[in-house]
Amino acid sequence: METAKKALIFDMDGVIVDSEPYNMQRVYGYVLSFRPNTPIEEMYQVVGRTRKDVWTRIAGIIGRGTSWEETQKDYERNWKPFHDYPVSYQEIFREDTLFILQWAKDLGMRTAVASATAYDKVREILGAVGVLPYLDLIISGESVEKSKPDPAIYLKAAELLKVLPEECIAIEDSTVGITAARRAGVTVVALRDDRFDFDRSLADGEIKALGEFPGWMRKKYKTV
């Protein structure tokens, strides 16, 4: 028997905002400045992770023997100012997010965002696209010791929402996000993004667009 769902948890990057291509390509250019023949596939492993995890992996790919902090500082000081361009979060915002959050609220569900991105950045982006008023909780990778694919962020979100993990459903896109939710015992729906080689095998279901989510829920849970 399926457990009734009391909370809906969104990932942010790649789900609420289509930021993954922008974030990855920007850092990929930096990597290519050191290793021009680096295949783009090596960058897939950084998607959906915390700042520390991302830059630890970037430092390893570059192979200069620098720490993740040194690598990030070099990027911020010596690369990004000369190879950056502004991003409009409104332009990459998936507007169906607002419809789904209101739909969930109307059903009496709690709502949250669980993102590996730094908390202040999450609030900045969610504020820019008008999502903040619809949320009961924002939790970032800074709130837990281990990042996705570890389940800690989802377990913490359930605790703060005062529901059981199995009473939550998450919308994720990346391999690490899907894995984190599944390991926490949260039902997870994968938002397909065929631009990346993400493994969605652990997801409980897939949707091609956010607007399909309520229909997926109605089909899966007959009462909603």
> For residues 153 and 155, what is the distance between their CA atoms, to the nearest angstrom?
6
Judge if pTM exceeds 0.75. Answer: yes
Residue-wise pLDDT for 158-183, tens only, equals: 999 999 999 999 999 999 999 999 99
Residue-wise pLDDT for 204-215, tens only, equals: 999 999 999 999
Of 207, 199, 161, 160, nearest to 180 by C-alpha is 199
pLDDT at 1 over 70: no
**What is the structure's pLDDT at 198?**
86
Q: Is 157 left (phi over 0), alpha (psi -120 to 50) or beta?
A: alpha
Tokens of 167: 């009473």
Q: How confident is the model at residue 223 (pLDDT cuts 50, 70, 90)?
A: low
Q: Would you give the end-to-end CA distance of the chain in angstroms?
A: 15
Chain centre to alpha carbon of residue 124: 15
**Quick count: other Cβ atoms within 10 Å of Cβ 157?**
27
Name every residue whose Cβ is closer than 8 Å to that of residue 127 and which is 6 or more positions away in sequence.
Answer: none
Q: Name the percent of the chain lying above pLDDT 70.
A: 98
**What is the structure's pLDDT at 46?**
76
Handedness of CA 144, 157, 27, 198 (dihedral sign): positive
Residue-wise pLDDT for 46-91, tens only, equals: 776 777 888 999 999 999 899 999 999 999 999 988 887 778 999 9
Chain centre to alpha carbon of residue 103: 21
